[in-house]
Chain A
Amino acid sequence: AQSVTQLDSHVSVSEGTPVLLRCNYSSSYSPSLFWYVQHPNKGLQLLLKYTSAATLVKGINGFEAEFKKSETSFHLTKPSAHMSDAAEYFCVVTRTGGATNKLIFGTGTLLAVQP
């Protein structure tokens, strides 16, 4: 079975300060992990993905995440928040090389950026 737990439902940061969105995963198989972002009234957009290559993954808009197998974590970070980063973020797991690539979503973290 696979699952993800997003440890914070809401995170608030000031513009220009670092962002940390936490995600722990559980998987019986070799996992592929993703972060998606959802802006209000818009579709989900892929930020970055880990598929068993480099453990430090860089994504769009300055975001990155590090796969830590020993901690079963895949936290999302950004050095300096921008107002446009305010959105909901989803950590997602799927099975690498599985017959289907069914995505299992976390419950989401709502990021607020204060001026």
Chain B
Amino acid sequence: EAGVAQSPRYKIIEKRQSVAFWCNPISGHATLYWYQQILGQGPKLLIQFQNNGVVDDSQLPKDRFSAERLKGVDSTLKIQPAKLEDSAVYLCASSSRSSYNEQFFGPGTRLTVL
């Protein structure tokens, strides 16, 4: 089966610009996650969707970050405006009801904010 797809793989922007990332989870996976991985750290959950509803967005900086999963399939994560400290790899993951604890990760999008 196809894995989690993410695009773009790399993005370089200047601070105060906006950027969007896209994720397509594994077919049939109801749960989708966005993580932020800053260099030298482990990934940190930003937001979790169950179908098109938000389950946990407690660590999402809502003043500048937004995410949606309108049809319960693919998802976009947006940053507006970007700050230098947003430079990180943004990982998308998905999981199914049958393997609830196992999350499958995409390759990530590496964002550099100059």
Contact = CB atoms under 8 A, between A and B. Distances in A.
Interface of A: 32, 34, 36, 41-46, 49, 51, 90, 92, 94, 96, 99-103, 105-108
Interface residues of B, number: 24
Per DSSP, are chain A's interface residues mostly helix, strand or loop, or mixed? Answer: loop
B55 A100 contact: yes
B106 A100 contact: no
A101 B43 contact: no
Nearest to A99: B55
Interface stretch (B12-20, B63-71, B74-82, B95-103): B95-103
Interface of B: 3-4, 31, 40-45, 48, 55-56, 91, 93, 95, 100-108
Contacts of B3: 43
Given A42-B107, A99-B55, A101-B31, 7 more contacts: A43-B91, A49-B102, A90-B42, A94-B101, A100-B56, A103-B45, A108-B41
A107 B41 contact: yes
B20 to A, nearest CB: 20
28 contacts: A32-B101, A34-B101, A43-B4, A43-B91, A43-B106, A43-B107, A44-B91, A44-B93, A44-B105, A46-B102, A46-B103, A90-B42, A90-B43, A92-B42, A96-B101, A100-B48, A101-B95, A101-B100, A101-B101, A101-B103, A102-B48, A103-B43, A103-B103, A105-B43, A105-B44, A107-B40, A107-B41, A107-B42
B100 A43 contact: no
